Amino acid sequence: MAKNKPELLAPAGNLECVAAAVRNGADAVYLGAKTFSARAFAENFDGDALKSAARLCHLYGAKVYLTLNTLLLENELEQAADTLRLACQAPVDGILVQDLATWELVRRCAPAMPIHASTQMSVHSLEGVRQLEEMGFSRAVLARELSLEEIAAIRKGTDLELEVFVQGALCMSVSGQCYLSAMVGGRSANRGSCAGSCRLPFTSTGDKTAHDLSLKDNCWAGYYQALWDMGVDSLKIEGRMKRPEYVAAACQSYHALSLGQDPQLDRLRRVFSRSGFTDGYPSGKRDGSMFGIREKEDVTAADRELLHSLAQSYQKEVSFLPLDLSLEVEPNTPVRLTACCAGQEPVTVTGEVPQAAKTRPISADEAAASLTKLGGTVFLPGKITCHIAPGLMLPKSALNALRRQVVEQLTETRSHRPEIPFARNLPKPAPRLAAQTQSSWGRFSRWEQLPDGWETRLELAILPLEELLSLPEGSPAPVEKLAAEAPRMLFGKEEEKFAQQLDTLKEKGITKLLVHGLAQLRIGKQKGFTLLGSPFLNITNPVALEQYRQLGVKEAILSPEVTAASLSRWAGEGTGWLCYGRLPLMVFRACPIRAKRGCKTCGGHSALTDRTGRKFQVVCHQKQYQELLNCVPFWLGDKQGDFRNLEHPVFWFTGESREECARVLKAYARGLKPDGDFTRGLYYRGLNAKRERKE
């Protein structure tokens, strides 16, 4: 049985972009409100503009999805509910979320609203999608880093709708896992305010002009038919910050593909590209050809003539709906005009009573000519039937008025959707008790880092799963004080391997598991492990914390993007914070070191240097993914009183030696001030998107 044609989903930063999308073949549009959108610096939509966008989309038979897909802070639930209410009034056809607090908010306040899992949720595997399915999501927006083969495997294993990014900018990091902009400039990608720090110069070779963290724009045009054949539901174009001409060009290209026509990719490249396009992710060829920046030639390629031509494509209504009209003109009876359009109830309007003709009566051909003047509307002349009794006269102005009335009524009927029921029923998590005592956790990269006597200093030592698998039989290490760290990313068949490894760990007596995402959570829960949440679950508010607890996470390390003052108000027993460590600022699958130098000279540990000379370590995890570590470590040893309500100070050791780990633990126990370069992260300065934007 043939699969349905995939939805073509276009971006819109303003109403002009909505018009550019739907008038150039888009089946759906996604956009953001003025708050809680992952593109906070787009123009975005207030309540009236959102209604106008929804009406325009629905007029063209397209859907509209609202992105409510940023992390919420503790005091923002009320405002998020206000935005959700506007979405229900518009109404939109679905809400994209990242934060589990938003997920719970939609479920409680607008249970009829479809919920889509934003790519910010970092779902990149079958088990992650299955977890979303169990949670009641209607669609998953898959991570951009997946290959065509990996998407096909997910498609075979779930009935959930799947959405795939096919065109536009590529983040260097897996979405939802980037903290570079936040830590460097106070603008959080998880809060919709990314500064694009990865587009600045970074080098692994000493070339100060290199941009080793900048990828070309994504292009899956060559895989359109394959995505259709495998049953992907929605093909998404990135670009809510881009001009309407780009939206028009991208929609034209992918609409042409749906018709088996030439997509004119060279024209799309001229409108916007970064040194051309890449298909590195769908092909699985993640090499140096994926990297590129926006050169002068890219900027000047979009000439005035091209942009004018694209603008012309959306500035007027596009006629595409055949409209059947039936006119009845009888003596002593008001004129009747009935309009029929596919999928809608017929509309009948009446006009004046026709007069006896004094000179020349109106003919059927004359009446039909007036009725077919549908220009400037979405309707095309269909079957025109005129039943006119002999000897009657009707002014053309009267016919034109009848035509306008039926068009207006059909337009209103087609544009209108009933509001989605909304009830202000905000989730209220139970108060969390302040911790009575504190017990430290240490996360280590390898066995050799654990200092002598660690058992007395740490309640828990967390090590990568592979490290614990090497634990010899009869080892003196107390297994009750050990926890396994799940791989940060699980792609394809790695999930099966991971599940098998957990079985082996349980045989060794290890029953605690640190999870970074929904896939690891689901597998770990099925295997009976006690689940600990990593900081990369991005828990920034008490409602999200409660939702993860309901999913099986017993204790959690909270997001480092929350201030100490905020944490002190709502975090308590069973929560932890990063007190030391070089925070992984990015996790990526297109390795910049491999792209420039190859793997032979790397050894799994290399570095990138930014334009100021600061070095950021790149750590490779079995060539499956890489992490970019901050250039300086957190240090909060002298600030412990500000976190007294939380239970677990967490040391995130990465490349430190055994001696350095011992020194850090000892200094923290004594409450010493930092020695050398350090950062407090965002615990004290917080996020300041408005200030950074002005600068």
In tens, the pLDDT along 277-313 reads: 999 999 999 999 999 999 999 899 889 999 999 999 9
Q: What is the pLDDT of residue 44?
A: 79
Mind listing the pLDDT tens digit for each residue in 402-432?
999 999 999 999 999 999 999 999 998 878 8
Amino acid at 512: K
CB 561 within 8 A of CB 682: yes
User: Residue 372 has what DSSP assignment?
Assistant: T
The whole-angstrom separation of Cα 408 and Cα 16 is: 22
Q: What is the pLDDT of residue 691?
A: 36
Following CA atoms 640, 642, 643, 645 in sequence, which dihedral angle do they give, to the nearest 10 degrees? 120
Burial 418-452 (b: 16+ CB within 10 A, else e): eebebeeeebebeebeebeeeebbbbbbebebbbe
Q: Map tokens 């040391």 to a residue.
A: 651
The whole-angstrom separation of Cα 228 and Cα 235 is: 9
Q: What is the DSSP annotation of 90-123? A: TT-SEEEE-SHHHHHHHHHH-TTS-EEE-GGG--
Question: Lowest mean pLDDT: which of 147-151, 608-612, 620-624?
Answer: 620-624
pLDDT band of residue 603 (cuts 50, 70, 90) is confident
**Mean pLDDT computed over 495-500:** 96
CB 220 within 8 A of CB 263: no
CB 83 within 8 A of CB 522: no
Q: Map tokens 């926890």 to a residue.
A: 483
Mind listing the pLDDT tens digit for each residue in 309-353?
999 999 999 999 999 999 999 999 999 999 999 888 999 999 999
CB 352 within 8 A of CB 396: no
Distance of CA 189 to the CA centre of its chain: 11
Q: How far is residue 429 from each of residues 432, 542, 546, 576, 675, measured CA to CA in Å?
A: 8, 7, 6, 18, 40
Backbone angles phi, psi at 484, to 5 degrees: -90, 140
Is 203 a residue whose pLDDT tops 50? yes
Q: What is the pLDDT of residue 687?
A: 78
Q: Map tokens 């030391």 to a residue.
A: 580
Contacts of 11 (CB under 8 A, 6+ apart): 17, 21, 29, 30, 31, 168, 237, 238, 239, 240, 242, 247
The whole-angstrom separation of Cα 433 and Cα 430 is: 9
441-581+634-681 shares the fold of 7-170+215-312: yes
Contacts of 258 (CB under 8 A, 6+ apart): 5, 6, 8, 25, 224
**CA quadruple 666, 668, 671, 676: dihedral sign:** positive
Mind listing the pLDDT tens digit for each residue in 70-92?
999 999 999 999 999 999 999 99
Question: Lowest mean pLDDT: which of 1-10, 105-114, 342-351?
Answer: 1-10
**Mean pLDDT computed over 662-682:** 94
Report how far apart the first and last C-alpha atoms of the chain are (Å, whole number): 56
**Mean pLDDT computed over 506-535:** 97
Give strand ranges (E) for 404-468. Answer: 441-443, 460-464
Q: What is the pLDDT of residue 195?
A: 87
Side-chain-side CA neighbours of residue 176 (13 Å): 31
CB 11 within 8 A of CB 166: no
Is 1 a residue whose pLDDT tops 80? no
What does the domain layout of the chain look like in residue ranges? Answer: 7-170+215-312, 321-415, 441-581+634-681
Q: State the maximum Cα–Cα separation within the chain, in Å, rounded to a whole number.
A: 113
Q: What is the DSSP annotation of 248-290? A: HHHHHHHHHHHTT----HHHHHHHS-SSSEE-HHHHT--SGGG
Is 554 a residue whose pLDDT tops 50? yes
Residue 117, strand partner residues: 97, 140
Task: Give me the percent of the chain exceeding a pLDDT of 90.
Answer: 87
Mind listing the pLDDT tens digit for each residue in 171-197?
999 999 999 999 988 888 899 888 889
Side-chain-side CA neighbours of residue 310 (13 Å): 27
Summary mean pLDDT of the chain: 94
Which is nearest to 171 in space by CA: 223, 118, 221? Answer: 118
Q: What is the pLDDT of residue 645?
A: 96
Pick the CATH number of 441-581+634-681 from 3.40.50, 2.60.40, 3.20.20, 1.10.3470: 3.20.20
Mind listing the pLDDT tens digit for each residue in 252-261?
999 999 999 9
Q: Evaluate whether the domain defined by 7-170+215-312 bears CATH number 1.10.1660.10.
A: no
Higher pLDDT, 587 or 472: 587
Amino acid at 513: L
Give strand ranges (E) for 118-255. Answer: 139-141, 161-168, 202-203, 217-219, 234-237
Q: What is the pLDDT of residue 688?
A: 64
pLDDT band of residue 692 (cuts 50, 70, 90) is very low
Is 268 a residue whose pLDDT tops 60? yes
Residue 624: burial class (beta carbons within 10 Å; 0-12, 13-18, 19+): middle
Is cis: bond before 91, omega within 30 of 0? yes
Question: Lowest mean pLDDT: which of 133-147, 213-227, 671-685?
Answer: 671-685
Is 695 a residue whose pLDDT tops 50? no
Q: What is the pLDDT of residue 172?
A: 95
Q: What is the pLDDT of residue 690?
A: 40
CB 497 within 8 A of CB 527: no
Q: What is the pLDDT of residue 36?
A: 84
Mind listing the pLDDT tens digit for each residue in 42-59?
777 898 999 999 999 999
The whole-angstrom separation of Cα 368 and Cα 386 is: 7
Three-class SS of residue 608?
strand
pLDDT band of residue 694 (cuts 50, 70, 90) is very low
Is 482 a residue whose pLDDT tops 70? yes
Backbone angles phi, psi at 328, to 5 degrees: -125, 120
